Structure 1
Amino acid sequence: MVGGVVSYPSEQLQEEVACIAFHFHWSLEEILNLEHNSRHNWVVEIDKIKHTN
């Protein structure tokens, strides 16, 4: 989409926030202040940890 705004699916955002908050005990504000890519990368890393134990 050229010139448009691409929104981030709210369900995916809620899942990422819940995952990070549960594992790191960060506040909602701290998590929402992360850039999308950074937040997503933290979720990926948490998933790796969960699957190696």
Structure 2
Amino acid sequence: MTYATDRLHAEIAYVAYHFHWRLDDILDLEHADRLEYVNQIAGLNTRVNGGR
């Protein structure tokens, strides 16, 4: 099974936008680790936006 390219690009853009990490650094992450960062960023955004 392969990971959808559009989903990978969305995750990369999301982490890069919020953490300002380089593409190579994000691509070096294991899939599970990258998803954890995506989830953590989403949680931070939810808290900042008052739970919305």
Please confirm whether the aligned pair reaches a TM-score higher than 0.5, indicating the same fold.
yes
Q: Which runs of 5+ in 2 are unaligned?
A: none
1:10 equivalenced with 2:2 (yes/no): no
Question: What is the TM-score of this pair, normalised by structure 2?
Answer: 0.89
Q: CA deviation at 1:42?
A: 0.2
Cα RMSD, aligned residues only = 0.5
Question: What residue number does 1:19 align with?
Answer: 14
TM-score normalised per structure 1: 0.87
2:28 aligned with 1:30: no
Name structure 1 gaps, 5 residues minimum: 1-5
2:42 to 11, 36, 47: 47
Identity %: 38
Bigger Cα Rg: 1
What residue number does 1:3 align with?
none
